[in-house]
């Protein structure tokens, strides 16, 4: 059964049937627009596109993994403002010969990751297209918190990260090399598990800036440094690769050194050529959607936050005090 | 200059530079997510995809027209809930050889239509892709009003419409036939001008249901009839084509009778074969984004609302009391 067999309205009905019913006071799928409850009146909104062949490959990821990852990258953006995820809207453009089961799996993955974040799928759109394109918009609720932007880092703040780094990049390198172990890294590539609750937690801890690591630690901290008018230094002595990353680097050997500008077919590829894996994965691998935040020097951070460096009065991102010589992270059209 | 010349971040900067600065209390483009103000706490959200070759053709529409139309279809969905449009998020996937000027024109059109509706572009995403795909999410504010859904029509309610019907379909038929006059209809195809303020107005007038006409009057009223568990009859004696529609039908002659299921390359094509134009345009042409609403029988409606029929205890949509024999409107994969 293909989506063309079902037709647009049949496909929408099949998708809607897989979603839990809307909570009280919420209007979900099926009207001109969804209606949400954001009692404190400061909704947060972000949108992302995923294109087959660029952000995912159907031969590398099950549809539920593609959906889970698509939801995660948007939900993490909401969390990175200090907000609690509330709702997702899903646009799906796909060729008529796409199996309905693939679309259903995609929606199952989106719904499951949304539920993990406390959010619900409340609306969307379906269109025919030559390529699969997924457009997700995530909405959140600041719940009375002030938003944590990229612009508030101050000299002497500490830089800390919640969540894993480099796992998705290592998993992608393994798949590119035809390997499937360590399985935890392949799973991290297919289905990142951001710690959404760390976002509001950081806001409550007095975070001065925050960003989600989608393009790579160096690249994304570059946005914070620029927006804040500060420099940020990463201390690699604090970037300790776990046994899985070490095993992956050993298994791949020199093949795991991505060449400058090579990029891979399916999104988020690290391009840093300055250091070997696993350090290059830690510094330039995106798509784990860890949260990076800066905190006042005297902040007392819970265990999930790992201090990795500090903010200073300079500019740009340095690694152990030196400019990063390689490619900092993923950029479309590059 | 192409978007590949600029790169992802350069393109985002070029787009952001064309947008007015965010209003006080709003965080717009440039952070992980936008932050909005919806004081009464009931945001409304809707999303739509537009694909080149299916929803628009670059040889038929200037980029600002594509952008204006893309924004309009989302903003009209917000209005159709009885809400005031507040913000738009824009995802743009495009090939690297797309001229930057086209992307800038698109954004100009989106921003202009947003401003016409009182909303602002607050965020988005950019990706490389083989085809141009535009994903727009619109957010609105019910401002204390109860949402007007599709489900509240009651027998004996009157059906009324605010805005034009069939103009976009007629304009598309003219372009398909290689004609450019009447120019007002071609302009209506390229750039619909929904009456957004009619949405909250209808809510204040006690509308029992509302929908925006995106797929055609018969098709979209079908959603209202189904959701409300009622029947709706359209009285064609009240559907009076203006001189432009009559002129277009005369100019096109028999060529303007779309054959069953033919559809046209670029979205919203009428397929109704039961009646000749201009009546078929009025009944099945979408994309003018007029608002159709049902009101209690004793409602006193301002002049912009034209009564076109009534709700009854049956089911489905009838035209002059008879089932509609043709195709009701546009559906993807059909």
Helices (H), B94-197: 100-117, 167-176, 183-190
How much is the pLDDT for B164?
96
- Nearest Cα of chain A lies from the Cα of B333 at a distance, in angstroms, of 5
Angle between helices B167-176 and B243-252 (to 10 degrees): 30
How much is the pLDDT for A313?
97
* Contact (Cβ atoms closer than 8 angstroms) between residue A92 and residue A106: yes
How much is the pLDDT for A257?
56
A304 dihedral zone (left: phi>0; alpha: psi -120 to 50; beta): alpha
DSSP 8-state secondary structure symbol assigned to residue A187: H
Interfacial B residues in 52-71 facing A (CB < 8 Å)? 54-55
Distance CA A154, CA A145 (A): 20
Q: Does B274 have pLDDT greater than 70?
A: no
Q: Computed from CA positions of residues A173, A175, A176, A177, in that sequence, does the dihedral angle turn out positive or negative?
A: positive
Distance CA B133, CA A91 (A): 11
Of the pLDDT bands very low, low, confident and very high (cuts 50, 70, 90), residue B333 is confident
A249 contact partners, CB below 8 Å, separation of at least 6: A170, A241, A256, A276, A277, A278, A281
How much is the pLDDT for B332?
78
Of the pLDDT bands very low, low, confident and very high (cuts 50, 70, 90), residue B265 is very low
Identity of the residue in B32, B55, B135 whose CB atom sits nearest the CB atom of A81: B32
Q: Which residues of B touch A123 (CB under 8 A)?
A: 45-47
How much is the pLDDT for B260?
38
Give strand pairing partners of B127.
B93
User: Which residues make up the CATH 3.30.1330.10 domain(s) of chain B?
Assistant: 3-141
Identity of the residue in B90, B127, B334 whose CB atom sits nearest the CB atom of A7: B334
- Nearest Cα of chain A lies from the Cα of B182 at a distance, in angstroms, of 30
- Nearest Cα of chain A lies from the Cα of B134 at a distance, in angstroms, of 9
Indicate yes or no: CB of B137 within 8 angstroms of CB of A30: no
Q: Which helix (H) or strand (E) holds B120?
A: strand B120-128
Distance CA A298, CA A296 (A): 6
Indicate yes or no: CB of B130 within 8 angstroms of CB of A131: yes
Q: Which residues of B touch A151 (CB under 8 A)?
A: 31
State the virtual CA torsion across A136, B21, A295, A71 in degrees, nearest 10.
Answer: 0
Q: Give percent above pLDDT 70 in chain B.
A: 93
Give strand pairing partners of B110.
none
User: Which residues make up the CATH 3.90.650.10 domain(s) of chain A?
Assistant: 158-323
Q: Does A268 have pLDDT greater than 50?
A: no
pLDDT tens readout for residues A8-66:
889 999 999 999 988 888 999 989 999 999 999 999 999 999 999 999 999 999 999 99
Q: Computed from CA positions of residues A327, A333, B4, B9, in that sequence, does the dihedral angle turn out positive or negative?
A: negative
Identity of the residue in B8, B89, B125 whose CB atom sits nearest the CB atom of A331: B8
Interfacial B residues in 266-325 facing A (CB < 8 Å)? none
How much is the pLDDT for B269?
36
Of the pLDDT bands very low, low, confident and very high (cuts 50, 70, 90), residue B259 is very low
- Nearest Cα of chain B lies from the Cα of A96 at a distance, in angstroms, of 6
Give strand pairing partners of A17.
none
User: What is the arithmetic mean of pLDDT over B208-232?
Assistant: 96
pLDDT tens readout for residues B1-17:
999 999 988 999 999 99
Which backbone phi and psi does B158 adopt, to 5 degrees?
A: -95, 145
User: What is the arithmetic mean of pLDDT over B132-160?
Assistant: 97
- Radius of gyration, CA atoms only, chain A: 20
How much is the pLDDT for A25?
83
pLDDT tens readout for residues A106-139:
999 999 999 999 999 999 999 999 999 999 999 9
pLDDT tens readout for residues A309-318:
999 999 999 9
Question: Number of Cβ pairs closer than 8 Å across A and B?
Answer: 236
Helices (H), chain B: 3-17, 63-79, 100-117, 167-176, 183-190, 198-204, 217-228, 243-252, 279-284
Distance CA A226, CA A315 (A): 7
Among A224, A216, A238, A222, CA closest to A290: A216
Given CB atoms, is B96 within the 8 Å cutoff of chain A?
A: yes
Indicate yes or no: CB of B47 within 8 angstroms of CB of A7: no
Q: Does A263 have pLDDT greater than 80?
A: no
Which backbone phi and psi does A169 adopt, to 5 degrees?
A: -65, -40
What is the CATH topology of the domain spanning A3-141? 60s Ribosomal Protein L30; Chain: A; (3.30.1330)
Q: Does B262 have pLDDT greater than 70?
A: no
Mean pLDDT, chain B, whole residue set: 92
Of the pLDDT bands very low, low, confident and very high (cuts 50, 70, 90), residue B131 is very high
| Exposure of B316 in the CB half-sphere (CA atoms within 13 A) | 9
User: What is the arithmetic mean of pLDDT over A218-229?
Assistant: 96
C-alpha distances in Å from residue B154, one per residue of A95, B77, B172, B210: 39, 22, 35, 12
Among B190, B287, B277, B194, CA closest to B239: B277
Q: Which residues of B touch A33 (CB under 8 A)?
A: 44-46, 77-78, 80-81, 83, 138, 140
B118 contact partners, CB below 8 Å, separation of at least 6: B84, B85, B86, B196
User: What is the arithmetic mean of pLDDT over B43-68?
Assistant: 95
Q: Does B171 have pLDDT greater than 60?
A: yes
What SS3 state is found at B10? helix
How much is the pLDDT for B257?
56
How much is the pLDDT for B324?
84
User: What is the arithmetic mean of pLDDT over A91-108?
Assistant: 97
Q: Does B83 have pLDDT greater than 50?
A: yes
Of the pLDDT bands very low, low, confident and very high (cuts 50, 70, 90), residue B325 is confident
How much is the pLDDT for A307?
98
**CATH architecture of structural domain B158-323:** Alpha-Beta Complex (3.90)
Interfacial A residues in 230-259 facing B (CB < 8 Å)? none
User: What is the arithmetic mean of pLDDT over A229-251?
Assistant: 97
- The region of weakest confidence among A11-25, A41-55, B60-74, B110-124 is A11-25
How much is the pLDDT for B297?
97
* Contact (Cβ atoms closer than 8 angstroms) between residue B222 and residue B333: no
3-state helix, strand, coil in chain B (%, to 5): 35, 25, 45
Q: Does B92 have pLDDT greater than 60?
A: yes
Given CB atoms, is A126 within the 8 Å cutoff of chain B?
A: yes
Q: Of residues B26 and A312, which shows the higher confidence score?
A: A312
Pick from B5, B11, B16, B32 the residue to mutate for testing the A interface (most A CBs within 10 Å): B32
User: What is the arithmetic mean of pLDDT over B95-119?
Assistant: 97
- Nearest Cα of chain A lies from the Cα of B129 at a distance, in angstroms, of 7
């Amino acid at each position: 059964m293909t989506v063309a067999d079902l037709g647009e309205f049949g496909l929408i009905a099949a998708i809607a049937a897989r979603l839990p019913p809307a909570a009280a006071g919420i209007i979900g799928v099926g009207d001109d627009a969804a209606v949400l409850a954001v009692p404190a009146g400061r909704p947060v909104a972000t949108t992302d596109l995923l294109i087959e062949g660029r952000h995912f490959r159907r031969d590398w990821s099950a549809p539920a993994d593609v959906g889970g990852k698509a939801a995660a990258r948007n939900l993490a953006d909401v969390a990175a403002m200090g907000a609690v995820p509330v709702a997702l809207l899903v646009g799906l453009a796909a060729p008529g010969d796409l199996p309905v089961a693939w679309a259903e799996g995609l929606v199952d993955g989106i719904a499951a990751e949304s539920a993990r974040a406390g959010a619900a799928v409340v609306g969307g759109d379906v269109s025919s297209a030559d390529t699969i394109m997924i457009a997700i918009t995530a909405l959140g609720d600041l719940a009375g918190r002030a938003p944590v932007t990229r612009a508030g880092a101050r000299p002497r703040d500490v830089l800390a990260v919640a969540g894993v780094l480099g796992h998705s990049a290592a998993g992608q390198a393994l798949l590119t090399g035809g390997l499937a172990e360590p399985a935890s890294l392949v799973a991290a590539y297919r289905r990142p598990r951001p710690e959404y609750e760390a976002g509001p937690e950081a806001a409550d801890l007095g975070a001065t800036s925050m960003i989600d690591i989608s393009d790579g630690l160096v690249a994304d901290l570059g946005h914070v440094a620029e927006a804040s008018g500060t420099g940020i230094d990463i201390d690699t002595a604090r970037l300790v690769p776990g046994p899985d990353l070490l095993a992956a680097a050993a298994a791949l050997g020199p093949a795991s050194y991505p060449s400058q500008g090579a990029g891979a077919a399916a999104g988020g590829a690290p391009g840093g050529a300055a250091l070997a894996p696993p350090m290059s994965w830690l510094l330039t691998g995106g798509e784990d959607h860890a949260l990076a935040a800066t905190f006042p020097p005297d902040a007392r951070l819970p265990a999930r936050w790992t201090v990795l460096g500090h903010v200073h009065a300079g500019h740009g991102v340095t690694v152990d005090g030196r400019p990063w010589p390689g490619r900092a992270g993923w950029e479309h059209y590059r």
